[in-house]
Structure 1
Amino acid sequence: MPNQLTDHVTLRHGTTLNNRLVMAPMQTHSGLKGGFASEDTIQYYSARSQAAGMLITEFHYVSENGGPAYVPGYPEQLGVYSDAHLEGLRKTAQALKKDGNKAILQIHHAGRAAVGRHVNGLDVVAPSAIEFAFLDYPVRELTLAEIDDIILDFGKATKRAIDAGFDGVEIHGANHYLIQQFFSKLSNLRTDKWGGSLDKRMAFPLAVVKEVKTIIDEYAPKGFIVGYRISPEELHGEEVGYDYKDAISLISEVIKYELDYIHLSLWAGYNSKPKNNEKSYSQLFKQILDDETKLLIVGEVFGEESAADAVENYADLIAVARGTLLDPNFTKKIIEGKGESIIHKISPQTIEYSQLTPGLFEAFSREDSLGLPPLPGGETIQNLHTGKYDI
């Protein structure tokens, strides 16, 4: 029988999800200085407690030199790099879990994208000291000791997720952040054990996975969920950081650590495929996954029909991003048989219902959406933009 959106799904380590829908990780532009959760953060996540069966937070940086990655002037990215963040993390987990769905903390290090460090006069670190045309600040190459510390920081962040009551963690290895920077031959020019050949460029991602699993095995309750997010390719015209074959090689090693799921970050849509290939990314990656490792995909799902197609024909789980920004009750409506009432566009009339954070509202009411994929209907709220965070 084909997968149904309302199926209960039992993951490798024993936890059962209420359905096949997932809220994708999305930056809320709500953090306080230092990466602390604000009341806006908690209200946003509380409003989305029924957005999906599994709810993934935005990225939280694991090391003090790992963030914030944000647009200066706007509320900051959230952090998980110290025990001082535990109070906010607990509130976030409680808000997400209050209706019986599973809460996942996404953990990450921005690497060269930690613009907040530059703004504060601190150095920005990366695998290699390269001048990137898209950055207006220099980056410094990480030392061997610093790399070891960051790996341990992913483990410490996992322990904080456990202590805060999250049901799992997602390792963010996508979207050009530090883990991907180590994997990419465009951004990793190291000649030591952390760079060079494909195997050496895989070393850092795998070391992070190993450390996270070590902490989970020692401290987490039975059923604690662990996932890994990856961008299936890094292509910049003729320049190739890695292709999908390289990514499949990495994931073939990642899954040896017995993760619950692999999350493909698909900007061109859940059914997108590599150039000159008949198979979709999801079909290609599914071929190398064992039966217990679920495939989660994301991209261009705004309603019940596309979500159903994704789980019937492409993957085990489908993540909804902007769809849950527009409608915080996306999955609740599907479960109740009211999928036709899902809101597909933002408008002045739906702003209150969508319960965006002030930072997200300001971002999506700009003409450029602050560089984010625009919300359908975004042009209707541009006249409401106040500019209070704009520099």
Structure 2
Amino acid sequence: MTNKLNDQVRLRHGATLTNRIVLSPMQSQSGLKGGFVSEDTIRYYSARSEAGGLLITEFHYVSENGGPSYVPNYPEQLGAYSDKHLEGLKQVAKALKSKGHKAILQIHHGGRRANGRYLDGKAVLSPSPLPLSFSKFPVREMSSDEIEAIILDFGRATKRAIDAGFDGVEIHGANHYLLQQFFSKSTNKRMDYWGGSLEKRMHFPLAVIQEVKKVIKANAPEDFILGYRLSPEELHTHGEGYNYHDSIAFVKKIIPYELDYLHLSLWAGYNSKPEKSNQSYAELFKTVLDEQTKLIIVGGVFDESAAKDAVENYADLIAIARGTLIEPQFGKKIVEGRGREILHEISPESVPYSQLTDGLLEAFSRDDSIGLPPLPGANSIRSLHTGKYDQ
């Protein structure tokens, strides 16, 4: 049977999604010092409560030493590393769930991408003492005790997600952050339990999954959702750190943990392919997943036609990223048969409707979009840029 965008989807542990559209995790550029939510944060998520049937927050760092990862002078990354964040987490969960859809907290550790620690004069931790090519600040190799503590922190953040009323968590293992840093041979040069062979480089992300599963089993409802986000190949390194064959080997290892979904972070689009492959990443990974682990893909979807193609031909669910920055009611309009009304480009007139945070508006009205892929129509909002966060 052909997948349809407005299908209800039952996940492995019993949660039911109202449709196949997902709000992709994107940094809202709205956090206060220390990773706390702002009024801008809640307004942004409230506006996107009908963006899809599954709504995933931006990344929240789980350890005090895990963030923030952010553009200096812009609003900070959000955190979930202490009980002081619980009230804000409750507000985000309530905002996202207000229209009856499932809310997921994405949990994360920045590792050597936690540039905010360097700016605050603190040590930046890494699997190995090798700075990123695009981040010139020094980093320190993590001790085994620090690694074990961070694994427990992922569990503690999961407990906070449960207490805050989220319907699930997504472990962020993509986009050059700590779990990927351990998995990649370009950033993990350790020769102990946590590094060396491909199998040993899997130990840290697998330990995180185990800890999160343990906390869910002890504290969450039976239908609590668990997902994992993965970059199928290491970006910007031409496959030097790992390739999709390595990622597929890792996915085979996580299948026994019975996740609800695997979320592929696809920089080049939902239908993109590895070099010299006739199959897309989605097709390649779908062949190794069991029937109950749903596949989410993302990338380059701004209209109903592309979203339809994604779920009909590639995956179980399609995550919409920049498309929901422009059109916060992306999923609602499709489900109601109003897909032709979806806004495809940002404009000065549509900015109030899009409910971008102040930080996002400043970011996407810059010529360089602070390094993010630009929004369609971004040239039209250059005049709205004030420069208030510029370095």
TM-score by shorter chain over 0.5: yes
Instruction: Say if 1:345 and 1:375, in contact at 8 Å, map to a contact too.
Output: yes
* CA shift for structure 1 position 235: 5.0
Distance 1:10 1:106 in 2: 20
1:1-391 to 2 correspondences below 5 Å: 1-234=1-234, 236=236, 240-391=240-391
Q: Deviations over 1:80-125 (max 9, x none)?
A: 0000000000000000000000000000000011010001000100
Instruction: Say if 1:93 and 1:166, in contact at 8 Å, map to a contact too.
Output: yes
Query: Gaps (5+ residues) in structure 1?
Result: none
Which amino acid in structure 2 is aligned with residue 72 of structure 1? P
Distance 1:335 1:207, change over 3 A: same
Distance 1:237 1:168, change over 3 A: closer
Distance 2:170 2:338 in 1: 30
Which amino acid in structure 1 is aligned with residue 76 of structure 2? E
* CA shift for structure 1 position 237: 5.2
Distance 1:133 1:14 in 2: 43
Which amino acid in structure 1 is aligned with residue 346 of structure 2? I
* CA shift for structure 1 position 255: 1.7
Residue identity (%): 67
Distance 1:235 1:327, change over 3 A: closer
* CA shift for structure 1 position 363: 0.2
Distance 1:333 1:298 in 2: 19
Matched position secondary structure for 2:340: helix
Distance 1:320 1:245 in 2: 26
Instruction: Say if 1:35 and 1:77, in contact at 8 Å, map to a contact too.
Output: yes
Distance 2:159 2:255 in 1: 21
* CA shift for structure 1 position 254: 1.2
Runs of 4 or more above 6 Å deviation: none
Which amino acid in structure 2 is aligned with residue 92 of structure 1? V
Distance 2:22 2:270 in 1: 13
Q: Deviations over 1:39-93 (max 9, x none)?
A: 0000000000000000000000000000000011000000000000000000000
Q: Deviations over 1:258-309 (max 9, x none)?
A: 0000000001110011100001100100011111000000011101000000
The answer to which of 83-92 and 127-136 deviates more is 127-136
How much is the aligned-residue C-alpha RMSD, in angstroms? 0.8
Distance 1:131 1:44, change over 3 A: closer
Distance 1:35 1:222 in 2: 30
* CA shift for structure 1 position 211: 0.4
* CA shift for structure 1 position 238: 5.1
Instruction: Say if 2:233 and 2:239, in contact at 8 Å, map to a contact too.
Output: no
Distance 2:192 2:222 in 1: 38
Which amino acid in structure 1 is aligned with residue 360 of structure 2? L
* CA shift for structure 1 position 133: 3.1
Aligned length: 391
TM normalised by structure 1 equals 0.99
Instruction: Say if 2:112 and 2:131, in contact at 8 Å, map to a contact too.
Output: no
Instruction: Say if 1:235 and 1:242, in contact at 8 Å, map to a contact too.
Output: no
Which amino acid in structure 2 is aligned with residue 344 of structure 1? H
TM normalised by structure 2 equals 0.99
Matched position secondary structure for 1:190: coil
Instruction: Say if 2:175 and 2:235, in contact at 8 Å, map to a contact too.
Output: no
Distance 1:235 1:301, change over 3 A: closer
Distance 2:239 2:293 in 1: 31
